[in-house]
A = this chain, B = another copy of it.
Amino acid sequence: MNININDIYAAQATISPYAVKTPLLESPLLNKRLGGRLLIKAEPLQITGSFKLRGAINRIANLNQDEKAKGIIAYSSGNHAQAVAYAAGLFGTSAVIVMPKDAPKVKIEKTKAYGGEVVLYDRYTEDRTKVCARISEKRGLILIPPFDDAYVIAGQGTLGLEVAEQAEGMGLQLDAFLVCCSGGGLTAGCAIALNSKSPSTAVYAVEPIGFDDTNRSLIAGKIVENVAGANSICDAILVNRPGELTFPINKKLLKGGLVVSDDEALNAIAVAHDEFKLTVEPGGAVALAAVLSGKIDIKGKIIAVVCTGGNVDQDIFRKAI
């Protein structure tokens, strides 16, 4: 499976009638405090509140008529769920979304409001991939994977392509680009885009402490799983191991991984609110957190980070601000 910049250009053409070209923002006051230039890709402004719409549209738009007629299925605790439910409606198909029973109520409700048929499962006693397989076998549905899929990776890569184009339009040469990382689909897509459009930009994956499987896998040179028992508020980006498709790309193209704490993510939410008037969820704030907490040196440099989503639990948001 070889995904390249042309796949991302094709994805850009596919998604552009439906997705927001989110702005690349900066704050003069924050730049002054940091001693460098920090650019924020404001993806909470994306329709459905996260970048997940990009991959969902690119995957669903490229289904054939037979597949669309069958209907689709996806598993997700929130952002991919809303994106797939909404994108299904755009392309005249229907979506079953398998969600954990204890997912935030607002995410379940919004997934339904976007037209998704929500099937709840118990994540302590059931395996979501098995729940998915059982339903899709019975009803003949097409699975839309959250990250390990070439169309999904290319779709998420449009975010990196936009960042490269926007930075170029501002006359800026990015020293580094930091991406919030879970299964690694967004990271891989963005790494391909930056590597092609701006090869001197170092791309980093950013993860929460305890869920830094991509970081440790990069160090080990092979896929390593998380140690069981860790906890984090960064609900959107807690997977157990990098993807089979995404990791080889990330291993080849990333400069490295960075790891932040929940408190650092909370502080980043507060800064995004105060300096950028943007609502960011914890998992969407880890790349910003990495810069603010000094995990990478920004002095005299130009660094872009993506804030990936804004579907935040209200209690956590209140605590952060």
A-side interface residues toward B, CB under 8 Å? 20-23, 25-29, 32, 42, 44-45, 47, 49, 86, 110, 113-114, 273, 276-280, 310, 314, 317-318, 321
Q: Tell me whether A29 and B279 are in contact (CB under 8 A).
A: no
Complex: how many Å from CA A21 to CA B27? 14
> What's the least CB distance linking A56 to chain B, in Å?
13
User: Which residues of chain B come closer than 8 Å to A86, judged between CB atoms?
Assistant: 28
Closest to A20 in B: B23
User: Which residues of chain B come closer than 8 Å to A22, judged between CB atoms?
Assistant: 23
Complex: how many Å from CA A318 to CA B320? 12
> What is the count of identical protomers in the complex?
2
> What's the least CB distance linking A47 to chain B, in Å?
6
Q: Which of A20, A27, A29, A317 has the most CB of B within 10 A?
A: A29
Q: Tell me whether B42 and A45 are in contact (CB under 8 A).
A: yes
Q: When A and B form their complex, which 10 residue pairs have the shortest distance between CB atoms, in order from nearest? A: A277-B310, A44-B277, A277-B279, A29-B113, A23-B23, A273-B279, A25-B45, A49-B277, A20-B23, A45-B277
Q: Tell me whether B29 and A110 are in contact (CB under 8 A).
A: yes
User: Which residues of chain B come closer than 8 Å to A23, judged between CB atoms?
Assistant: 20-23, 45
Q: Tell me whether A28 and B114 are in contact (CB under 8 A).
A: yes
Q: Tell me whether A47 and B20 are in contact (CB under 8 A).
A: no
Closest to A43 in B: B277
Q: Tell me whether B310 and A321 are in contact (CB under 8 A).
A: no
> What's the least CB distance linking A259 to chain B, in Å?
25
> What's the least CB distance linking A207 to chain B, in Å?
22
> Can you list 21 A-B pairs, Cβ within 8 angstroms, ordered by A?
A20-B25, A21-B23, A23-B23, A23-B45, A26-B47, A28-B47, A28-B86, A28-B114, A29-B110, A32-B113, A42-B45, A44-B277, A45-B276, A45-B278, A49-B277, A277-B280, A277-B310, A278-B278, A279-B279, A314-B321, A318-B318
Complex: how many Å from CA A114 to CA B30? 11
User: Which residues of chain B come closer than 8 Å to A25, judged between CB atoms?
Assistant: 20, 45
User: Which residues of chain B come closer than 8 Å to A110, judged between CB atoms?
Assistant: 29
> What's the least CB distance linking A18 to chain B, in Å?
10
Beyond known contacts A26-B47, A279-B279: 16 more, CB 8 A cutoff: A21-B23, A23-B23, A23-B45, A25-B45, A27-B47, A28-B86, A28-B114, A29-B113, A29-B114, A42-B45, A45-B278, A49-B277, A273-B279, A277-B279, A277-B310, A278-B279
